[in-house]
Amino acid sequence: MYLQQVGRALRISPGKDCALVLDLVGNVGRHGLPDADREWSLEAKPRNQRERGDAPRLRRCKQCGKINRPHAISCTSCGAALVTPLERREIEAELARIDRERIEQIKSMDYTDAMAWAGASEERLRQVALARNYKVGWVQYRLRELGVA
């Protein structure tokens, strides 16, 4: 019923350019954001077999109070960080592991393969430059060479 009510307010119609949904009882926390991906089915479970807490935990910004998607890293309204210190350490550790593996892969490639892998992606070109100890301006030079920058 919550999704049906919010859906009515969000439905596009002539002369309407916005909607204000006041969630005074916390339905967003129970059911998730109205535009979240859902698996729809006509097969309903009996009330006593329904699982509580199916909706992923949303993130509330401590700066502005906006509710953000469950996996948001920063607030979409004010840009404040939503990641906890523990999550940040886990993310940094995983990125460091991935970076080490990627650098080893790039080092093992010859120049032609590395350029084919990087293509016109600035991020990938930066990884190639890091792995091969190229000078700071090499990425921009390569992008100009490819006609991207």
What's the pLDDT at 50?
59
CA dist., res. 11 & res. 55, Å (int): 22
What's the pLDDT at 54?
54
**pLDDT tens column, 117-147:** 999 988 889 888 888 888 878 988 999 999 8
CA dist., res. 103 & res. 109, Å (int): 10
Domain contains 78: no
Domain contains 65: no
Domain contains 67: no
Containing 102, the helix (H) or strand (E) segment is helix 85-108
Record the pTM. Answer: 0.40
Domain membership of residue 94 as a residue range: 86-146
What's the pLDDT at 113?
93
**pLDDT tens column, 57-101:** 788 888 898 888 877 888 888 988 887 788 778 877 877 787 888
CB 19 within 8 A of CB 47: no
What's the pLDDT at 147?
87
What's the pLDDT at 14?
92
**pLDDT tens column, 106-120:** 899 999 999 999 999
Domain contains 92: yes
What's the pLDDT at 98?
76
**pLDDT tens column, 20-69:** 888 888 888 778 788 878 777 888 777 776 555 555 678 888 889 888 88
What's the pLDDT at 46?
75
Domain contains 91: yes
CA dist., res. 59 & res. 87, Å (int): 13
Domain contains 37: no
